[in-house]
Amino acid sequence: MMDNIERNKFKWVGPDIESGEAMARKSVTFGRDAMRRLFKNKAAGVCLVIIVLLLLLTILVPFFSPFTMNEQHLTHTNAPMGFVCTNEEQAGVVHLFGTDALGRDIFVRTWEGGRISLMIAFVAVFINFLVGVIYGGISGYMGGLVDNIMMRIVEVINGIPYLMVVILLKMVVGSSDPTGIVSLIVAYSAVGWTGMARLVRGQVVALKEQEFVIAAKALGAGSSRIIARHLLPNSLSIIIVEITLAIPSAIFTEAFLSFIGMGVTIPYCSWGSLANDGVTVFQLYPSQLWIPAICISLTMLSFNLFGDGLRDAFDPRLRR
């Protein structure tokens, strides 16, 4: 039957060069691909929105609120949530979260305290990032005896109790730090950078024998240039994830210290100190404890889930 087919009904088209060389998938950079996978993670996206919303509230509410952080309304102390102010100057203004035992508006104090808590966490983690990256990068790249000595120093610092450092700093700089904020930042930064240093050191040790580092050495690049231009940028994804996961730890540490009276001092407040005030009246006015507790929990959960999403997005093994 095949012999009856006429050749003139067919024509030679040759190879399709364009379709043969076409890319099956559009080429994208590592960063853009990571962002695409991050925003496909619904939990990470929701947590990012919550983090941005919390940051905006801590920045804007103290500026636009009709009440100030320390403004007292002694005629309506421990007012419930949604209480309408009856003062002549502020008649009709609502205390959204009620007032505390001194008649201060809890809504503005919550976001003012959130601003202090987040500021302490961000500044402390940023200092840990700088110290840990520099220390870990030098240790991992130098290797040998230098690496052993530097890592033993890290182990010694890691064994110092954080609470002891805070107490010593309170005793030393207590008079020169009336807010207590500087003491918390210095104390957390003094012992909190060791985790970042170990992480960066491990990444540098794994990367320093790669071909691109050997090529840089062959071209005459110095140690500082290799660390700054080649090793650290290739470790940046893991560093970003570590920073994201370190922020909730710093927030919880600050809240714990303020809760036991070792944090920010009166009249300043943080979420931890607000929770400490709420504990004393919890049986009568439970909302005064629930509000800062929910803020702390929501912030920590959002940063942790967002950090997990970043870790998955930067993992090349999950690329598809």
Quote the pLDDT of residue 318: 53
Confidence label for 81 from pLDDT (cuts 50, 70 and 90): confident
Those residues with Cβ within 8 angstroms of residue 79's Cβ, 6 or more apart along the chain or in another chain: 73, 95, 98, 99, 103
Is the confidence at residue 293, as pLDDT, over 60? yes
Tell me how far apart the alpha carbons of residues 107 and 82 are, in angstroms, rounded to a whole number: 10
Confidence label for 2 from pLDDT (cuts 50, 70 and 90): low
pLDDT of residue 66: 82
pLDDT value at 59 more than 70: yes
Task: Look at the pTM and tell me if it is higher than 0.95.
Answer: no
Lowest pLDDT segment from 8-17, 70-79, 157-166, 311-320: 311-320
Structure confidence at residue 21 as a pLDDT band (50, 70, 90): low
**pLDDT tops 80 at residue 234:** no
Lowest mean pLDDT among 19-28, 234-243, 305-314: 19-28
Q: Are 228 and 236 in contact (CB under 8 A)?
A: no
Non-local (6+) Cβ contacts of 27 within 8 A are none
Q: What percent of the chain has pLDDT over 90?
A: 5
Residue 105 bridge partners (DSSP): 99
Q: Could you say which architecture CATH assigns to the domain 30-318? A: Orthogonal Bundle (1.10)
Q: Which 3 state secondary structure label does DSSP give 199?
A: helix
pLDDT in tens, 131-189: 988 898 888 888 888 889 988 988 888 887 777 777 777 777 666 667 778 888 888 88
| Amino acid 261: pLDDT | 75
pLDDT in tens, 176-188: 667 778 888 888 8
Q: How confident is the model at residue 310 (pLDDT cuts 50, 70, 90)?
A: confident
Average pLDDT, integer, range 107-118: 89
